[in-house]
């Protein structure tokens, strides 16, 4: 048994009892961490699918919004678009609140559609209303994508952290405790054998002495 795998403690019975108690605690902790790692891994895989789907939907929405924006640009001109954009009321209200999942905190984004107020300027085209609708839908998807990406990133970081702790307990910490327990047990057994051997020798000497005493009395 290599010495670097042992914990530097005195090989006594009290130490042995304490190490066994600590090992049970570490094994329970390992089981809980392993369970957490499994749940985080499952959650990460679920989030990956959701994130990939949102990316596809967001990319499609952006392409559609740019298509309508190009059409409005052709029909209205860049100057008219800039002028009308200055007076537009927001069509979305966005709130960011903290959310927790498996002990991992990340920002959750809630959105609320606001009534789309009509634009009263001359020179606008129906394509401009479509642009506003498409951009509103795109922003909605972008907020969901941002939340999904942030949650996925933090869950993956927590999953990697849990994996490192599980590996450290399984392959380093718990084996060191078990090796130390076995070492102390072997030391105590050897000491016990030595004590029994010494007792045997003393008993034999005592018996020999009694025998000689008995012979002298005869």
Give the pair of three-digit tokens for residue 139: 């922003």
Residue with tokens 């800039």: 82
Tens-of-pLDDT digits for all 218 residues of the chain?
444 578 899 999 999 999 999 999 999 999 999 999 999 999 999 999 999 999 999 999 999 999 998 998 888 888 877 777 777 778 888 888 888 877 888 888 888 888 877 765 555 678 888 888 899 999 999 999 999 999 999 999 999 999 999 999 999 999 999 999 999 999 999 988 888 888 888 887 877 777 777 777 66
Residue with tokens 């642009």: 131
Q: Which domains does the chain have, with CATH numbers?
A: 22-208 (1.10.287.3240)
DSSP state of 4: G
- Give the rounded distance of the alpha carbon of 94 from its chain centre: 28
Q: With a threshold of 0.85, does the pTM exceed it?
A: no
Q: Across the strands, what pairs with 110? A: 95
pLDDT at 124: 67
pLDDT at 80: 79
**CA dist., res. 155 & res. 103, Å (int):** 9
Nearest to 79 by CA among 121, 133, 29, 109: 121
């Amino acid at each position: 048994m290599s010495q670097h795998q042992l914990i530097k403690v005195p090989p006594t019975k009290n130490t042995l009892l304490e190490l066994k108690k600590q090992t049970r605690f570490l094994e329970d902790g390992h089981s809980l961490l392993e369970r957490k790692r499994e749940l985080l891994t499952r959650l990460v895989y679920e989030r990956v699918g959701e994130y990939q789907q949102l990316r596809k939907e967001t990319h499609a929405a952006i392409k559609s919004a740019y298509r309508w924006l190009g059409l409005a640009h052709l029909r209205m001109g860049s100057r008219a678009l800039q002028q009308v954009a200055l007076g537009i009321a927001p069509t979305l209200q966005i709130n960011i609140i903290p959310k927790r999942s498996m002990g991992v905190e990340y920002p959750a984004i809630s959105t609320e559609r606001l009534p789309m107020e009509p634009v009263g300027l001359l020179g606008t085209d129906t394509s401009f209303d479509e642009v506003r609708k498409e951009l509103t839908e795109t922003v909605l998807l972008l907020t969901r994508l941002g939340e999904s990406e942030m949650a996925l990133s933090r869950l993956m970081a927590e999953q990697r952290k849990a994996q490192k702790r599980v590996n450290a307990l399984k392959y380093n910490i718990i084996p060191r405790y078990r090796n130390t327990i076995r070492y102390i047990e072997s030391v105590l057994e050897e000491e016990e054998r030595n004590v029994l051997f010494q007792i045997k020798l003393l008993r034999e000497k005592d018996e020999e002495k009694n025998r000689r005493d008995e012979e002298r009395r005869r």
